[in-house]
Amino acid sequence: MNDEHGNALLVEDDEFHGLGDDLLGKEVPPDFVAILKKGPRIKKTLRQKALRVMLRRSGMVKPPLIERVLEGKTGPRIAISEIGFLSSDKQSDPLLAELAQECQVGNRLNRDEIVKNRVLVVGTEIFKAQKMWTPIHVHKDLMDGRYECVSGRHRLAFLAIVYGTNLEVPVYLEHLTLKAAREATAVANDSRPVKALERASYAILRAVGGDSAADQDKLYARLANLKPNIGKYCVYSVIERGYPAKLNFKLSERSSRPDGGIVTVSNIEVFWGEALLWSKEMSRKDFDDGLKESVVFLNAFVSAIKKMPGFDPDQHLTANVLAAVGRYDQTYKNITGRNAILICETLAKAVVGMGQTAKKQQGEIYNSIAGCLAQA
């Protein structure tokens, strides 16, 4: 349908027709109308765009009634804006930044942030089922009375986007101290895939009963009983606390390195698994001395390899490369009694000289490094 000038009418031309129009409000501000080639079209809000994505993915035309989504859920009703589910008011995603402005109660329980793509996935599944199956777990702090989300942050974000931040949601509510709530959050997050630094943080919090301020002796005593936990001790101590030394290069928590990190936290954890000696009888001081040496070595190695012509972090700082480098570091100490920091430049040159390493196994890389250094 066209107007008298031949332009398509808004009703017919709007590609968002019918999807989330109620979220825009009764009056359309002038700056929300864009004149495009096909005629006038209402510019959708960030929330409407997110809603459109979820509706299309779920095959629905409009959101189900909130009463249906929350059917069967019991417990006290609390407005979403009063629940802390965002860990920071500085969100990189514009949509989440909008939510942060309206929901200013911070979440002190989770060190990671929610992710918009995950919100869209969760919302699509709720639309398909027309029901939210799992209750939202909230704690009320016994000291300051703040409500914070223990489990269900992405569901809260979805509900806020679609039904508004003033929506009162029935929650499973517990009155806890902040320490106990952190332990509960660690348990809840232990059942889902998380990033390396999260895994370390949750392992620490569970081990020390939610006491994030626990001293190093307590952390070590609670985690050093099993070798798989040692990597988490290293990650948490060095990256979260800067103890016993700090890494001087940027890390990323995801393999795609969207934040510009030169190497991932997971790969550093793999390095420590090979570079450090450990036994149940080892004292924390002896272990931390070795950990400090490994950080100094790693800083020197990364600094050297970054200067090498042809360096590619996707090829030369992979998990298998760092595992082989860590293993060589330990072997070098055993043979010479000296720290491999003395040969970091030679070691870096050997790694970059291998070219493509992404498909090579750790043993193959280790042997190549050893062969190159034997000829040096």
**Mean pLDDT for the stretch of residues 310-318:** 91
The predicted model scores a pTM of 0.52
Kindly calculate the radius of gyration of the chain based on its CA atoms and give it in whole angstroms. 26
pLDDT band at 218 (very low <50, low <70, confident <90, very high): confident
- What pLDDT is attached to residue 196? 52
CATH number for the domain running over 66-187: 3.90.1530
- What pLDDT is attached to residue 207? 66
Distance CA 7, CA 11 (A): 12
Residues 6+ apart with CB under 8 A from 192: none
pLDDT band at 167 (very low <50, low <70, confident <90, very high): very high
Q: How many CB atoms lie within 10 A of CB 364?
A: 14
Closest among 217, 341, 350, 353 to 288, alpha carbons compared: 217
**Mean pLDDT for the stretch of residues 244-268:** 79
- What pLDDT is attached to residue 2? 38
The β-bridge relationship of strands 136-141 and 168-176 is: parallel
**Mean pLDDT for the stretch of residues 30-47:** 57
Q: pLDDT of 60-93, one tens digit each?
A: 999 999 999 999 999 999 999 999 999 877 788 8
Q: Which residue has the higher pLDDT, 209 or 320?
A: 320
* DSSP line for 318-368: SHHHHHHHHHHHHHHHHHHSS-GGGGHHHHHHHHHHT---TTS-HHHHHHH
Domain extents in the chain: 1-44, 66-187, 193-375
- What pLDDT is attached to residue 169? 96
- What pLDDT is attached to residue 223? 79
pLDDT band at 10 (very low <50, low <70, confident <90, very high): very low
Q: pLDDT of 94-146, one tens digit each?
A: 999 999 999 999 888 876 678 898 899 899 989 988 999 888 999 999 889 99
Distance CA 313, CA 311 (A): 7
The β-bridge relationship of strands 136-141 and 77-79 is: unpaired
Is the model's pLDDT at 1 over the cut of 60? no
